[in-house]
Chains A and B, each alone.
Chain A
Amino acid sequence: MALTVVSQIFPREMIPAVLPLIEDKLQHSKEIIRRKAVLALYKFHLIAPNQVQHIHIKFRKALCDRDVGVMAASLHIYFRMIKENSSGYKDLTGSFVTILKQVVGGKLPVDFNYHSVPAPWLQIQLLRILGLLGKDDQRTSELMYDVLDESLRRAELNHNVTYAILFECVHTVYSIYPKSELLEKAAKCIGRFVLSPKINLKYLGLKALTYVIQQDPTLALQHQMTIIECLDHPDPIIKRETLELLYRITNAQNITVIVQKMLEYLQQSKEEYIIVNLVGKIAETVDTYAPDNAWFIQTMNAVFSVGGDVMHPDIPNNFLRLLAEGFDDETENQQLRLYAVQSYLTLLDAENVFYPQKFLQVMSWVLGEYSYLLDEETPEEVITKLYKLLMNDSVSSETKAWLLAAVTKLTPQAHSSNIVERLIQEFTVSLDTCMRQHAFELKHLRENVELMKSLLPVDKSCEDMVVDASLSFLDGFVAEELSQGAAPYKPHHQRQEEKLSQEKVLNFEPYGLSFSSSGFTGRQSPAGISLGSDISGNSAETGLKETNSLKLEGIKKLWGKEGYLPKKEGKTGDETEVPPVPQESIIMENVDQTIIKKDQSQVLTQSKEEKEKQLLASSLFVGLGTESTINLLGKADTVSHKFRRKSKVKETKSGETTSAQNMPCSYFSSSSDVTYEDDYYLDTLQDRGDKELNKFSLNSELLDSESLTELPSVEKLSSCTLSTPSLFTDDMEGLHSPLSTAASVANEISLASSLLEETSEHMHSDLVEVCNNETISVSSYKIWKDDCLLVVWSVSNKSGLELKSADLEISSAENFKITEQPGCCLPVIETESIKTFQYSVQMEKPFTEGNLFGFINYQMMDTHSLQLEFSVNLSLLDFIRPLKISTENFGKLWLSFANDVKQNVKMSESQAALPSALKTLQQKLRLHVVEIIGNEGLLACQLLPSIPCLLHFRVHGDVLALWFRSSCSTLPDYLLYQCQKVVEGS
């Protein structure tokens, strides 16, 4: 009974205490006890798989138990383990097949029969395991063909459970490596299911068909009529399943019919989950296969009006992008857009119809962008319609922002516009700050028609917006301001600190508020969105391509040169009343605080200067607005990251330990740096940047390895940083010259030479041959560098011929982060020469062992390219490095870590003393011995890149009490396992 309780509720912390008891019970004479013990272990495996790793061998024993119950219980564990890692258990396929054969053949005791079917659920479980094992593996699959055939044949009885077995069989047959005879039989089975009058079987058949059809669409043809019948079936569940089936076989020819059916179903169903699901599927198929424009727009209209606000936000975004970017054919694009505009106008004409907010947003964007395509209707009429919507109370404020943006876009095209004026009047007093801001923008834009036209060009939504992330055009201005004695820009956190310390002296209140409320990355203000769509549309997602006319463009297209003005005035006039608008806070976060502060104080006196400043401010406002809308935040991050990096270098260059405060200041004022910065950001093109970064890190690594290996880390760091500046100039050269190849080639050469040195200086493993054939052989070895694991593959060409375009690729594995070192693609490998490739590998989450797979591609003279696959085994220990800390630090760290694991390990006799145990741990696990006190010892290590783990151990007689603590929850378990292996093994 206790064992049952164990397998139901059990805290993972208690496992080590109970585990030995349960292991004992595995040998108990009563089958029920053994069975329960296995189930308890299954529970342990579920909650903490790493703690039962060492008893896998006992599971195997359980699998071979003479009692069926025990064996069946162990299947659950295997099912889970095989699901995680099927390749590790291929050797057990034979046993599973034998067991299934016995079960199917009726060799089990009679009381396991259920309605004269031998242990049906056991069969199902076994079939499932076989399915997992045989997936894409011909050799393993071949073992099971016989037994699958047998079970298909035996399961002929008309009983629910046999149908279940048949279904599982079919499933397995189609998941393993195919064999035509079996497939035929399985197909027949499916046919029987689908045609069956019993509704449950029909469902099962459809489900099987859905699964099978991805591999063999012809099967659907055989059952066409049944499928059609099922479509009109009174049971909605059957209908759903049929639609799912159809969704899988959608193509350009049948799309119209299938989508029609889907829409019908959609209109009937009420459940939110189904709607979301189905709408996504429709949108996807329609996007891919739409036959013509009119149909496409109509379908999407239907989808939007039904799916409405619950649908996934990607759908409207994708739709708009498709409209904006269009296809290859320009006239077709125009038609598509025209049709969309027309259909929306008709939809809006209908009285008393409520559309979902998302649909209205889409409409307003399309109308704003493409209304000019209309011939017969003037922009005024469109504006009138939009105005009507704006006045509608049921429209949310976000949608209103979209609508107003559309109106703004249309205004320059309209000739006279009383409505616009009315609208402005109405909204400049709106309570919603966002709306008010938009209205103001519109108002001031209207005063300057020329600007407005250039700013809101017709049909330019698709053109890539240029964003100058560095805000380099501000540099001159900032320098000027600084020379006038303005305060330098201070980063956010510093301002906060200052605010705290000087609260009484300086009134930072209004700014402070806006900072705390901003959180600019996460929050996309509705205004920001509409703004983005104004200028570049959602379509600008295609990426911001840098051009050389950067500055000009950035300013020419700026949004709201004047639009920004009223807000400023409002703010200076009445600081406390106007709550900070999100965009403003974005600016403040990102941009020079100085500008705005200055603006505020000088706004009334120096009107000319102010105008200039606002020009700048709003141009950067454009940049940011768009950037945040287009979700290029990831990019923004990397940019800022690089920035930080560079500035750090600069810091050392000037040889000062400048505080964060001075740093940006010096950066802005020193002109050479500014030019550098400009140049640098001109090249923010993502790949280029990456490459550069790579090179950069490589360089530092190079230095690292060349100059110092055994030096203490502090010294290392300093020398590294000291030497970087020179590199840094190298980098710059590479950047400036269009052909940066020269620099990189130089790098490669030095890398190659440094590699050999490295090998001799660091600990490394022996050369192991991983694969070979008659022409090449690939061997690999690991270098345990202090900061990473370097895996080196050396490829030697044994043949007398030159090998061309040899390319070594390592497929990414889920637990590893692999960084390719440059020089991995070699054009030519000369005769009988050796080339090396190296990859640095980092572990992303702890585990015991993993395989790294890769392959090498090469081309012999005159022949097609060949491929050779190989794999390398990496264990946790490859990533463990000693952590050199003092006892004092150890104590501090020890207290700060929350995850701990304790275990007693019995030592083998040969090393039943502290020193020897220590030595093993130190040598085999690369732990650092911090201190030894009496019979206790302190050890420390770290998992690369920097997850520390501490170990405290004590010796009593021949028992070693280990106690791990770490900041990572799983690491101690894995380490414990390794320790156990080492200590018990030797």
Chain B
Amino acid sequence: MIKFFLMVNKQGQTRLSKYYEHVEINKRTLLETEVIRSCLSRSNEQCSFIEFKDFKLIYRQYAALFIVVGVNDTENEMAIYGFIHNFVEVLDEYFSRVSELDIMFNLNKVHIILDEMVLNGCIVETNRARILAPLLILDKMSES
């Protein structure tokens, strides 16, 4: 079960955060800073899974952007690790060579994509064409 999904850059600014379990707003910032600190403290040789309090963090770094997913211990870490990459691939396809700026200025679209892929803490869709289908329809509507 996925607890939260975070996109944070190296400076510790949160670009996107989505929680699948209720966390109080003021505690979120605290949690995010702790999470990013523990991610930044790790080197490339170390593994991408961190045991953090009573749950696990799985992170992946893309240029200056970290994607961190918090899961409980029933989840398969490697599956999430692969899933993060899948998510980035989808973003890449939609934005054609995605960058941090794309995410900053099209946050709503990133959210739509993420909602297609994860619901209530479960991975629900991984098929790239299907994930993007609703978004493309929306785009078409706004153009016409």
Q: Name the interface residues of A40-62: CB closer than 8 Å to any CB of B.
A: 42-43, 46
B85 in the interface, Cβ–Cβ < 8 Å? Answer: yes
**A124–B76 CB distance below 8 A:** yes
Q: How far is the CB of A243 from chain B (nearest CB, A)?
A: 11
Contacts A1-B134, A200-B81; is A8 near B47 (CB within 8 Å)?
no
Q: Are B79 and A46 in contact (CB under 8 A)?
A: no
A171 to B81, CA, bound (A): 18
Q: With A and B bound together, what is the CA distance between A125 and B1 in angstroms?
A: 11
Residues in A lying within 8 Å of B, measured CB to CB? 1, 4, 7-8, 32, 35, 39, 42-43, 46, 69, 72-73, 76, 111-112, 114, 119-122, 124-125, 159-161, 163-165, 167-168, 171, 199-200, 202-204, 207, 234-235, 237-238, 240, 273-274
| Structural contact, B78 and A200, CB atoms closer than 8 A | yes
Q: Given A7-B119, A111-B128, A114-B126, does the pair A203, B85 have CB atoms closer than 8 Å?
A: no
Residue numbers in B under 8 Å from A121 (CB-CB)? 79, 82-83, 123, 126
Knowing A7-B120, A164-B79, A164-B81 touch, does A111 contact B129 (C-beta < 8 A)? yes
In the complex, chain B residues 46-86 whose Cβ is within 8 Å of any chain A Cβ: 46-51, 53-54, 76-79, 81-83, 85-86
Asked if residues A39 and B79 are in contact (CB atoms below 8 Å), the reply is no
A-B contact pairs, 18 of them (CB 8 A): A1-B134, A4-B116, A8-B119, A39-B119, A42-B119, A114-B126, A119-B127, A120-B82, A121-B82, A121-B126, A164-B78, A164-B79, A164-B81, A200-B48, A203-B49, A234-B45, A234-B46, A235-B46
Q: Judge whether A76 and B127 touch: CB under 8 Å.
A: no
Chain A residues contacting B54 (CB-CB under 8 Å) are: 273
Give Cα distance in the complex from A42 to B121, angstroms: 12
State whether A112 and B127 are in contact (beta carbons under 8 Å apart), knowing that A7-B120, A32-B133, A200-B48 are contacts in the complex: yes
- Chain B contacts with A in 11-49, Cβ cutoff 8 A: 42, 45-49
Tell me which residues across on chain A come within 8 A of B47, comparing CB atoms: 199-200, 202-203, 235, 237-238
- Answer yes or no: B104 CB below 8 A from chain A CBs: no
Interface residues of B (CB under 8 A from A): 42, 45-51, 53-54, 76-79, 81-83, 85-86, 115-116, 119-120, 122-130, 133-134
* Complex contact A76–B128 (CB within 8 A): no
Residues in chain B near residue A122, CB distance under 8 A: 126
CA distance in complex: A167, B77 (Å): 9
Chain B, interface SS category: mixed
For A159, the chain B residues whose CB sits under 8 A away are: 82
Q: Which of the residues B82, B120, B124 comes within 8 Å of A161, measured between beta carbons? A: B82
Closest to A73 in B: B124
How many angstroms from the CA of A234 to the CA of B123 in the assembled complex?
A: 33
Question: Are the CB atoms of A119 and B119 closer together than 8 Å?
Answer: no
Q: Known contacts A43-B120, A69-B127: does B53 contact A273 (CB below 8 Å)?
A: yes
Q: Residue on B with the closest CB to A122?
A: B126
A122 to B116, CA, bound (A): 15
CB neighbours (8 Å) of B50 from chain A are 237
A69 and B82 contact, CB distance less than 8 A: no
Which residues from A are CB-within-8-Å of B122? 42, 76
Residue of B nearest to A238 (CB): B47
With A7-B119, A234-B45, A237-B47 already in contact, the answer to whether A161 and B79 are too (CB < 8 A) is yes
User: Do A119 and B126 touch across chains, with their CB atoms under 8 A apart?
Assistant: yes
Residues in A with CB closer than 8 Å to B115 are: 4, 8
Counting from the closest, the 4 A-B pairs by CB-CB distance are: A164-B78, A161-B82, A164-B79, A199-B47
Q: A121-B83, A167-B76, A234-B45 are in contact. Are A32 and B124 (CB under 8 A)?
A: no
* B-side contacts of A237, CB under 8 Å: 46-47, 49-51
Measured between beta carbons, the chain A residues less than 8 angstroms from B126 are: 112, 114, 119-122
Q: Which residues on the B side are within 8 Å of A204 (C-beta)?
A: 77-78
Min CB distance, B103 to chain A, in Å?
Answer: 20
Q: How far is the CA of A887 from the CA of B122 in the complex (A)?
A: 49
| Chain B nearest Cβ from A835, distance in angstroms | 46
* With A112-B127, A124-B76: A235-B120 Cβ-Cβ less than 8 Å: no
A124 to B107, CA, bound (A): 30
Since A4-B119, A112-B127 are in contact, a sample of 16 more A-B pairs with Cβ atoms closer than 8 Å, ordered by chain A residue number, is A8-B119, A8-B120, A32-B134, A76-B122, A111-B127, A111-B129, A114-B86, A119-B127, A124-B79, A160-B82, A161-B78, A163-B78, A164-B77, A164-B79, A167-B76, A238-B47
Q: Is the CB of A199 within 8 A of B119?
A: no
Bound-state CA distance A161–B83 (Å) is 8
What are the residues of chain B within 8 A of A35 when measuring CB–CB? 125
A199, B45: Cα distance in complex, Å: 7
* Candidate in B48, B78, B85 with the most chain A CB atoms within 10 angstroms: B78
